[in-house]
Structures are given as structure tokens and as C-alpha cells.
Amino acid sequence: MARTSAGRATRRAHLLRCLLGPLPAAYSEYAAVGPSSAPRIWTLLVALFRARVGLHALGVSLIIGVVFAPSEGSAQAGDANAGKAVYERKCAMCHGVKGDGKGAGAELLDPKPRDFTSGVYKIRTTANKTPSDQDLFRIITAGMPGTSMPPWDVLPEKERWNLVAYIKTFAADKFKEAPKKLELPKEVSSSEASIKRGKEMYEAIECHKCHGNLGRADGPSRPELKDDWGHPIAPANLTKRWTFRGGASRTEIATRIANGVLGTPMPSFIDSVEKPEDVWHLTNYILSLGPESPAYATLVTVNGTTDAIPDDPNAEFWKKAAPNTIPLMGQVIVDPRNFNPIIDLVIVRGAYNDKEIAFHLTWDDPSQTTAEGRADAPGAAKKIAADAIALQFPSKIVPGTERPYFLMGDATDSVYLLRWEGGKAGEVSASGPTKLKTLEGGEVVSKTVYENGQYRVVIKRPLAGKGEERPTFQPSTFVPVAFQAWDGGAGETGTRMSLTSWYYLRLEPPQSNRRFVVPPVVALLTLVAMLLVVRAASRGRGR
Amino acid sequence: MMRKALAGFAAVALMAGTAWVAAPPFADAQGGGTVEVEVKYSGAADVQTLKVNKDTEQCGKEAKVENIVVGGNKGLANAVASIAGAKGQPTGKKAAIDQKGCKFVPHVIATTPGEVDILNSDGILHNIHTYSTANPSINKAQPKFKKTMTEKFEKPEFIKVTCDVHSWMLGWIAVMPHPYFGVTNESGVAKIENAPAGKQTVEVWHEKLGKVTKDVEVKPGATTKVTVEMVKK
Ligand SMILES: [Cu+2]
């Protein structure tokens, strides 16, 4: 039961990401043209995209109201030969025809696709190295959140069991040892006392070394972590459990703590906690660190106020302001692309008064980097840039649905960026991702707080825009807005960024009781756009 | 009654005698000898220094990665010397490796198949992460309150041991198929005790330099010296 709800949450997260995240449009452009520079990569991406389009279609049906619940069933004996055909069609691209994880697309992916010949599997419910068939089936079905492994619940259940049988043949000798079920200690339900004990244990067993004090994956050992194959690997951000590779249910989390994640730095703790039930206290604590799902916004609301707007990001004012959580995705349209973006969401709060407009942005970044760089940690990436984030608006806000190209505009329609970089905000006019012009003489102020792997930044500017290149914000209007973010510590700079497509900003009049009627319309438009994407992709498939 | 007791005594004496003969076993019975292996390396030492960003109280401000440690007179430390292809029973001694100053101490331990104690003198979180093929790989957390963990290594193999919390930490557990081995000290000398007499091959293994062999004539009851040169491959 827990499984099903976790599965649903994952799917919901994916769905929201796909629906609201602007990327489908970007990808569809991709599907229509395709970069001539990298045809192989292109083929792969289209394939991955198609895999995800399947998801979108599901998502659409979910939105329309068809509740989708996958039948999981008990373990079935699959037919390896039949599985081979499916494997070569669906899996070989990344995992390789030989199962060695060296498919055509492997190079681009992070984390790397599993090397099935090693017989090492991260996610097991078994006490030994051998995963159960059910474990493999679960990953194929649910995918691995936060990686390039999509859920394959679009395949008939029988085909997934056949795949299980086939991938085991890549390391037949490793499966000679029968899986031994891991027995978890007796479950402890969540309570204040249990969460408190979990926190004590979290500190005692030093989870923070990798996962950070508040679970934001910013621990001091983070830059040094490598998997058993020597590839850098990031610790889980415990505040975003929808990205947990092995699922976000209580039992799944407890199993990861008890068992570790094979082939990664995450060790087994079952013999290393003070009392066995501490595994459950830790689980309850981890569940208390963040929401179940990110609750993405469809629209960014900026509330009017008659007060002064504080520029301190930690001010009480901002704690009271409504958060709008916006998902970001890697920029993969122009070179150099970002296939493995670090910043996956930003929480936006906004306020305006009769003089100025302010944005409060919160996002997780495991390493604070400025243009000068940072204290060098062992094994840290050498190529670093300044962390940055930007809000993008049309240079001129006009009524209607016309907007500049979402990727920093183009020669005909430029965009205006409120851009914060390494602790300082400024204004930029852009007519393309590499055609940036700094606007001088503005009145932008900003204040930055960086704490425990999280930035909180306030950026303010006058409501009225000076000159042709700065938009003027007017109350009670819709303003197109998009976001871009860079984790400089991971080497993200230039077009290697996370981004969104256009959203809308709504400047809500002060103390207005008139709630909005427009969001459903916006949602409907998004849905229509989605359907177009799905159609375009199906057409692509027919080609 | 007396007779019975006497018989009992005799039996015990006999058993004890047998045990006494068999105990220091394999060697003296056939007249084993000592092989003193001196391992030389003419290349440069390879010890890297890293800046430490955590646990500096225990780890210090700098960590050393001891890839190739060369002592006086070109002696190569941390190499395992053994009699190739020998057969013999486990030593029965439990080996131990400590985590002290965020280093595995000693850097290399050698033991026969069985249990190994893994100590945590630092009193901070380490995780024992082994890379093996013959034995099951392990990755177990060893928090500050876990002073000793005992792990079993049943199959002969050179096992790399790391800690992910402190990525520079690196040690080796050499599980040997017989008791005729030694680990070179800082001057590059290892002693193999009670080695079977006669024509033998000494095999030297080093984590970075691989394996080298050399023939030796082991004289019973005497110490035979042999010098083995290792080179970078
Ligand atoms: Cu350590």
C-alpha cells in the first residue's frame, strides 16, 4: 500500500514536472529540428523524450480524472528470451547491448546507467548483494527519480518480468546466491519523541557528513564522494524525498538506512545504530525534513502591500508571504547543454508597493561559490563559476499572448533579466542566450543569505522601468516570467543552466478579496499545449 | 583405579605431545626456515598531501595518501611478501586494522582467512567500504560509539578498504591462502617465519607496483636473505 502511494507521488511529481515545466515545448522543437552537430546524442534524446512522452500521456489522463494505479502483482517467472527483444528496443540505448552500461547515451548521463554485468544493484530489500526479482521489477516499473531512468509502467507487466529475467543473465553467476530478505526492526510510528530521537541519532552517526545539517546534501564530504566505478556521486537531498532513488515510503527509507545503497558511499547502518529501532526513528526524522511532494505552482502570485518591503531574506515579512514552487530543468537546446542540472526547483515569493517590486528566491545549492571561487575541498571540481539565478521578463510588457523566445529571447524580441550572481544583483538585456548586455544605471538592490546548503535572496527594483530595455510592472496584470539558475560549484555557467519556460506573474492588488478566476484558464492552456506536444511526438514516432 | 588414572594421564600426555609436535606446525616438523625479504624500489616515492576540510581535530589539517612509501636505502614499505603456492593452515590469530588519525593503521595488514577486527580509535564516523571480488564487498558505517567491528574474510584476496567520509583513507587487507607471509616495514624488510624448506618462490605484492617473484632456497632452521626489486609498470 505504501508502495502504491509512493508510486503515485513519484508519478505526480513527474507529471507536474512535465506538465508545468516548460520543457516539453523545448523538447518538441528538438523533435522537429534536431541539432545537426550531435546526431547520435540527438537520437538518444528523442528516444528518451519518447519514453517520457508516454508518461505525459498518462499524466494527461490523470488530469482528466482517470485514476491510474499500476497492478504490481507478485513475482512472476519472466522469459529471458522475450525480455531480450524488449531490452534491445527500450534499454540498450543507455545500458548497452551487452548490459555493460555503455550504451550510446551513457556518456551524457549522470548518474551513469547501471552496468548489469557487475550484478551490483543499488536498491535492494535483501540482506545480501542479490536483489530479489521484485526489487528489479519495482525499479523498472517506478524508474529512479532524479536520474535518467524513467518509469516503464507503460510496458505490459509481463514484458517487465521478462526484462527482469533478461537483465539477470548479464551477471548469471552473481544471481547464483539466492536473495535473503532483510528483516527490518519492528516499525516505530512517527511521534514527536521518535523524531527527536531520530535527530539525535542523525547527529550521533554523523549523517550530516554527506547529507548536511538540515539534510540539503551539503555535507563536507559531498565533493569527495564517488561510486564504486569512480564516478562522482551526490548524496540525497533529504528535504526532497520525491527524488529518492529507491522510493520515498517509510519502509523504503528505513530499508535504505538499514541496508545502504550498494555500489555507492551510502553504508549500511543496521549494525551501526545504537538500537535497531533507531532505523525507524531516523526514518521519522527524515520524513520530517521536507514535504511529501513539492506542490508546484502554476502561476506566481506577487502580493501588493502598503508597507515597506524588507530586503532581509530572513525577515518575518517573507516568512508570511505565500511560496510559489517552480520546477527547473536542464537547458538542452543549445550547446553547451546541461543534461544533469543541479538546481531542480526555486521557491519564489513576491511583493510590491507603490514604489517597488521585490522577489524573494529560495533554492538549494550544496556549495556556495562566488566569482573568486571557494575554499578547495579534496576532490572538488576544479572548474567552478559563480552561483547565479535570474528572473526573466519581456523587455516590454504588452497585452496578449505574444512573448519573446523563452530561452533568453532572440533578435526580434529581447528579454530583460533581473540577474543575481555570486551575491550581487544587476540588470541584463538579452536577445539570445549568448547575447547579453549589462544595463547600467539601474536601481536594483539585493541581499543574500546562504545557510546549510540553501540560498535565500531578495532582489528589489522600482516598479517603473527606466528606458526601453526595462519593463514597467503594473498592478492587476499578468506578466510573463521565466527563471534560470546556475550552480557554479558544479561548473554551471553560460548555457549550462537550469531553466523554465514562461510562467505568469500576477500582481495582486493590496488587500484584494477578488481571487483569481484565471488560473483554471491558464491550466487549460497548459493542457492544450501538452496535448500538442504529445501529438507532435507521436508524429515523430511515425517517421 | 590407579591404572585407570595412569592410562588417563598417558592419554593426556600423548595428546599434549602430539599437539606440541603439531603446534608450531608446518615448519619445524619439516625443518622450516626464515626468509628475510628486502624489497627495493629505485623510483620516487609517491605520497600526496591533501587539505582536510572536516574533522581536523582527529584528522589533522593535512592528509597523506601513501601510494608508494620509500624508506632509507630504497626500501619499499607496505609490500606483502609470501611463499608462492605454499599450503598451510590459518594462523588462528585475529588480525586488526585501526582507523586512527583518519588513516588505516597499519596501511596494509596480512592475515589468513577468518575474522578481522576493525577498530575506530578516532571516535568519529568512518565507513568500512571494501572492494573485493572473491569475498562479498562490504560498506558498513562505523559511528563514533562503535569501537570495534568484526568482519569475516573467507577467501584469499587483496582487498582494498576505503572510507567515503574521508576519501583519502585507503588501506589493504591481504587475505593469504597460507601462513607464510610478512609485510615490509618502513625500511622495506619483511620476515616470513617457518617457511617450508627447499626451493621456493617468494612473491611480493604492492598495491601500486603489482607483483614480482624471485626464487629462493629456504634452509631449515636458518635465515635466508633475499632482495627483490620492484619497478613501476
Ligand atoms: Cu573515515
DSSP character string of A315-330: SHHHHHSPPEEEE-EE
Q: Are residues A416 and A451 in the same domain?
A: yes
Domain boundary among A287, A320, A353: A287
Q: Are residues A241 and A316 in the same domain?
A: no
Total domain count, chain A: 4
**Chain B environment of A274 (Cβ under 8 Å):** 145
Q: Is residue A491 part of a domain?
A: yes
> Residue A314 belongs to a domain with what CATH number?
2.60.40.1190
Q: Is residue A294 part of a domain?
A: no
Domain ranges for chain B: 31-230
Q: Has residue A65 got a pLDDT over 60? A: no
> Which residue of A lies nearest to B48 if distances are taken between CA atoms?
A378
Backbone torsions φ then ψ of A103, nearest 5 degrees: -70, 170
Q: Are residues A115 and A236 in the same domain?
A: no
The whole-model pTM stands at: 0.81
Give the one of B53, B131, B141 whose C-beta lies nearest to A272's C-beta: B141
> Residue A85 belongs to a domain with what CATH number?
1.10.760.10
**Chain A environment of B142 (Cβ under 8 Å):** 272
| Residue A353 amino acid letter | N
Can you read off the three cell numbers belonging to residue A159?
A: 514484458
Model confidence pLDDT, tens digit, residues A216-257: 999 999 999 999 999 899 999 999 999 999 999 999 999 999
Does A466 or B125 have the greater pLDDT score? B125
**Chain B contact for A88, CB < 8 A?**
no
Q: Are residues A352 and A243 in the same domain?
A: no
Q: Are residues A38 and A70 in the same domain?
A: yes
Model confidence pLDDT, tens digit, residues A145-192: 888 899 999 999 999 999 999 999 999 998 999 999 999 999 999 999
The confidence band for A20, taking pLDDT boundaries of 50, 70 and 90, is very low
Is A268 in Cβ contact with B141 (below 8 Å)?
yes
ipTM of the complex: 0.82
Q: Are residues A354 and A490 in the same domain?
A: yes
Min mean pLDDT across A375-384, A427-436, A491-500, B137-146 is at A375-384
Q: Is residue A186 part of a domain?
A: no
Please report the sign of the dihedral spanned by the C-alpha atoms of residue A16, residue A20, residue A24, residue A26.
Answer: negative
Interface of chain B toward chain A, CB-CB under 8 angstroms: 50-54, 63, 124-125, 127-129, 131, 136-146, 149, 164-168
Q: Are residues A103 and A168 in the same domain?
A: yes
CA distance A350 to A357: 8
**CA proximity to B190, closest of B108, B121, B88:** B108
Give the one of A205, A210, A377 whose C-beta lies nearest to B53's C-beta: A377
Q: Are the beta carbons of A390 and A416 closer than 8 angstroms?
A: no
- Provide the residue range defining the domain that includes A238: 192-287
Q: Is residue A187 part of a domain?
A: no
Given 3.10.20.30, 2.60.40.10, 2.60.40.420, 3.10.105.10, which CATH number is that of B31-230? Answer: 2.60.40.420
N- to C-terminal Cα separation, chain A: 41
Please state the rounded mean pLDDT for residues B98-123: 96
Q: Are residues A402 and A277 in the same domain?
A: no
Q: Are residues A350 and A444 in the same domain?
A: yes
Q: Has residue B76 got a pLDDT over 70? A: yes
Task: Assess whether the previous peptide bond of A39 is cis (omega < 30° from 0).
Answer: no
Q: Is residue A293 part of a domain?
A: no
> Which residue of A lies nearest to B146 if distances are taken between CA atoms?
A272
Domain boundary among A287, A322, A348: A287
Q: Are residues A450 and A333 in the same domain?
A: yes
Count contacts between A and B (CB, < 8 Å).
Answer: 78
Q: Has residue B9 got a pLDDT over 50? A: no
Q: Are residues A350 and A470 in the same domain?
A: yes
